[in-house]
Amino acid sequence: MIKTLFTGSVSACFELENNSAYSCENEYTVKLDGETLFSSDTNVFSLFGLKPDREYTVGVSDFGEIRFRTMPETCAVNVRDFGAAGDGVTDDTQSIQTALNCLPPGGRLCFPEGVYLTAPLTLKSHITLDISENAVLLGCTDTARYPVIPGTAPDAVTGEDVHFGAWEGNAVPMHQSLVFAEYAEDISIVGRGTIDGNAQNSEWWINVKERRIARPRLIFFNRCKNITIHGITAQNSASWQLHPYFSQDLRFLDIAVNAPKDSPNTDALDPEACDKVEIIGCRFSVGDDCIAIKSGKIELGKKFRQPADHHTIRNCLMQNGHGAVTLGSEMAGGVKNLTVERCIFRRTDRGLRIKTRRGRGKYAVIDGVTFENIRMDGVMTPIVMNMWYNCCDPDRYSEYNTTREKLPVDDRTPYLGKFTFRNMKCLNCHVAACYCDGLPEMPIDEITVENIDFTYDPDAKEGVPAMKNNAVKMRKAGMYFDNVRKLTVRNVSVDGCDGEELEAHNVGELIKE
Per-residue pLDDT of the chain (513 residues; tens, 9 = 90+): 999 999 999 999 999 999 999 999 999 999 999 999 999 999 999 999 999 999 999 999 989 999 999 999 999 999 999 999 999 999 999 999 999 999 999 999 999 999 999 999 999 999 999 999 999 999 999 999 999 999 999 999 999 999 999 999 999 999 999 999 999 999 999 999 999 999 999 999 999 999 999 999 999 999 999 999 999 999 999 999 999 999 999 999 999 999 999 999 999 999 999 999 999 999 999 999 999 999 998 889 889 999 999 999 999 999 998 999 999 988 999 999 999 999 999 999 999 999 999 999 999 999 999 999 999 999 999 999 999 998 877 888 899 999 999 999 999 999 999 999 999 999 999 999 999 999 999 999 999 999 999 999 999 999 999 999 889 999 999 999 999 999 999 999 999 999 999 999 999 999 999
Q: Helices (H), strands (E): how many in the chain?
A: 3, 43
**Fold assignment, 2-69:** Immunoglobulin-like (2.60.40)
What are the E-state strand segments in 320-473?
323-328, 335-346, 350-355, 365-377, 381-386, 415-416, 418-429, 432-437, 444-456
Are the C-beta atoms of 143 and 113 separated by less than 8 Å?
no
88-125: b (≥16 Cβ within 10 Å) or e: eeebbbebbbebbeebeebbbbbbbebbbbbbbbebee
Rg (CA), the chain: 23
- Every domain of the chain with CATH number 2.160.20.10 lies at 73-272, 289-513
Q: How far, CA to CA in Å, does 347 sit from each of 18, 327, 441?
A: 25, 19, 34
Q: How far, CA to CA in Å, does 78 sit from each of 102, 104, 135, 230, 285?
A: 12, 14, 12, 19, 32
pLDDT of residue 86: 98
H helix or E strand, kind and range, residue 507: strand 502-512
Q: What share of the chain is helix, strand, coil (3-state, %, to 5)?
A: 5, 50, 40
- CA–CA separation, 42 vs 40, rounded Å? 6
- Catalytic one among 267, 288, 309, 482? 288
At the fourth CATH level, which superfamily is domain 73-272?
Answer: Single-stranded right-handed beta-helix, Pectin lyase-like (2.160.20.10)
- CA–CA separation, 494 vs 500, rounded Å? 10
Q: Which of 119, 108, 121, 115 is nearest to 134 (CA)?
A: 115
- CA–CA separation, 513 vs 510, rounded Å? 10
* Beta strands at 2-7 and 12-16: parallel, antiparallel or unpaired: antiparallel
pTM of the model: 0.97
pLDDT of residue 336: 96
- CA–CA separation, 142 vs 139, rounded Å? 9
* Beta strands at 44-47 and 12-16: parallel, antiparallel or unpaired: antiparallel
End-to-end, the C-alpha distance of the chain in Å comes to: 35
Q: Is residue 288 annotated as a catalytic residue, yes or no?
A: yes
- Every domain of the chain with CATH number 2.60.40.10 lies at 2-69
- Catalytic one among 163, 243, 322, 430? 322
Q: Is residue 310 annotated as a catalytic residue, yes or no?
A: no
pLDDT of residue 394: 83
pLDDT of residue 396: 84
pLDDT of residue 393: 79
At the fourth CATH level, which superfamily is domain 289-513?
Answer: Single-stranded right-handed beta-helix, Pectin lyase-like (2.160.20.10)
Q: Which of 252, 289, 285, 283 is nearest to 267 (CA)?
A: 289
